[in-house]
Amino acid sequence: QAKQHGRNGFAFFSAHMREQAEHRMALLKDLRVALTQQQFILYYQPIVAMKDQSIVKAEALIRWRHPEKGIVSPALFIPLAEETQLIHGIGEFIFSTACDTLCALNQLGHHLQLSINVSPVQFTAKHSALNDWHQQLTNKGLTTEQFVIEITEGLMMNALPRTQQRLTTLTKQGFALALDDFGTGYSSLAYLKQMDTDFIKIDKRFVDGIAHTADDLALCEAMIMMAHQLGLKVIAEGIETATQHQLLLQAGCDFGQGFYYAKPMPKDELVNLLNTA
């Protein structure tokens, strides 16, 4: 037994895998009650106009306040929620909370466009609550133009006719569409036009290198030029330094998002920031 553990890499690996599976099961158990226990909260990260750094949009980003673990990253629990269909309930929480926030902001005279991340699973489901979003926001006195739906390139690949149809309906209803994490997936550029996309979001991993790596700067410049030629606007993600801001501004980037301007924050902090801006 001891011999096996000491020298056999497989025994070590499978123990590790079992640990992972157990961790996943525990997290899933907690995730099932998180919605009813109101452990989810939306944070909002400002998106600025590059030319004057004024806040013109924000992205809603979910946080899970786990009773023991503290804040759990969406990168950890969203995939789990997608595999188990819990994403549907979570997605509805996100949408209705985002609506309430927009109502509150409008009332204060802050007319931002709000981005929400929508999972591919929400699109592919046979009965999707996406069908009711237009009605829901109309009931709350909002218009679709204030919403940006962020999807990832993966959604376009092998998209079911149902997914295509839903995207078309949403854009016809006036929702704006952004392609998130642009450049990291495998999407065909043809989709950009076909889908009536409004924004591409240049992924942080390109922005990270622009100050030191000529290739990354060239890629950002090319993406911006191409987007503009197709009539799309560009949002750069993960801007952390003044140099990155400057380079992207010079490259003609339209909007910026990143810790350099502001981190994701609770609604009240966003309101304070907007009031003092």
Positions that interact with ligand C2E (CB under 6 A): 45, 60-62, 73-75, 78, 94, 117, 119, 150, 180-181, 237-240, 257-259, 264
Residue with smaller CB distance to Mg ion, 30 or 245: 245
The answer to the question of residue 153 lying near Mg ion (CB under 5 A) is: no
CA distance 178 to 236: 12
- How near is the Cβ of 8 to ligand C2E at its closest, in Å? 37
**CA-based radius of gyration for the chain:** 21
The encoded tokens of residue 155 equal 């959604």
Binding-site partner at residue 74 among Mg ion, ligand C2E, none, CB < 5 to 8 Å by type: ligand C2E
Cα 118 to Cα 82, 123, 189: the distances in Å are 11, 8, 20
String of contacts with Mg ion for each residue 113-132, x by CB under 5 A: ----x---------------
Which amino acid type is present at position 53? Q
Alpha-carbon distance 124 to 273, whole Å?
Answer: 37
Q: Cβ 74 to ligand C2E, closest distance in Å?
A: 4
SS3 call for 179: strand
180 binds Mg ion (CB under 5 A): yes
Nearest CB to ligand C2E, comparing residues 113 and 257: 257
Neighbours of 43 (CB within 10 A): 19
171 binds, among ligand C2E, Mg ion, none (CB under 5 to 8 A by kind): Mg ion
The site that binds Mg ion (CB under 5 A) totals a number of residues, namely 7
Interface with Mg ion (CB under 5 A), residue from 30, 153, 181, 254? 181
Which C-beta is closer to ligand C2E: that of 30 or that of 181? 181
Tell which one of 136, 144, 169, 171 touches Mg ion (CB under 5 A).
171
Q: Cβ of residue 59: shortest distance to ligand C2E, in angstroms?
A: 6
CA distance linking residue 224 with residue 183, whole number of Å: 11
Tell me which residue of 181, 165, 102, 95 sits closest to 134, measured CA to CA: 95
- Give, to the nearest 10 degrees, the angle between helix 74-83 and helix 9-34: 80
Q: Give 175's contacts (C-beta < 8 A, 6+ positions apart).
A: 133, 144, 147, 148, 149
**Considering the complex, what minimum distance in angstroms separates the CB of residue 264 from ligand C2E?**
5
Residue in the block written with tokens 């006036």 = 174
CB 117 within 8 A of CB 157: no
Which residue, 11 or 154, has its beta carbon nearer to ligand C2E? Answer: 154
Nearer to Mg ion, 169 or 171 (CB): 171
Minimum Å gap between C-beta 114 and ligand C2E is 11
C-beta of 43 vs 217, nearer to ligand C2E: 43
Question: Letter for the amino acid at 257?
Answer: Q
Buried/exposed code over 174-189 (b: 16+ C-beta within 10 A; e: otherwise): ebbbbbbbbbeeebee
Residue closer to ligand C2E (CB basis): 149 or 232: 149
Query: Given the rule CB under 5 A, which residues bind Mg ion?
Result: 117, 150, 171, 180-181, 196, 237
